[in-house]
Amino acid sequence: MRKLILITALLLSWQSASHAQEANPDDVSSVDAILTAVYDVISGPAGREIDWERFHSLFLPDTRLIPIVRDSTGATSYISWTPKEFMERTSEAFLRDAFYELEIDRSAQHYGNLVHAFSTYESYRSLEEGTEPFARGINSFQLLYKGDRWWIMTIFWQPEWPGLPIPAEYLPAGE
- Domain residue spans of the chain: 20-164
The radius of gyration of the chain's CA atoms, rounded to the nearest angstrom, is 18
- Distance between CA atoms of residues 54 and 87, nearest Å: 12
Q: In 3-state terms, what secondary structure has residue 34?
A: helix
pLDDT digits (tens, 9 = 90+) for 7-18: 444 444 444 444
Burial class of residue 109 (count of CB atoms within 10 Å of its CB; 0-12, 13-18, 19+):
exposed
CA distance from start to end of the chain: 59
pTM metric for this prediction: 0.85
pLDDT band of residue 100 (cuts 50, 70, 90) is very high
- Region of residue 136 (left: phi > 0; alpha: psi -120 to 50; beta: else): beta
Q: Give residue-wise pLDDT tens across range 53-74.
A: 999 999 998 999 999 999 989 8
Instruction: Give 20-164's CATH code, choosing from 2.40.50.100, 3.40.50.920, 3.10.450.50, 3.20.20.10.
Output: 3.10.450.50
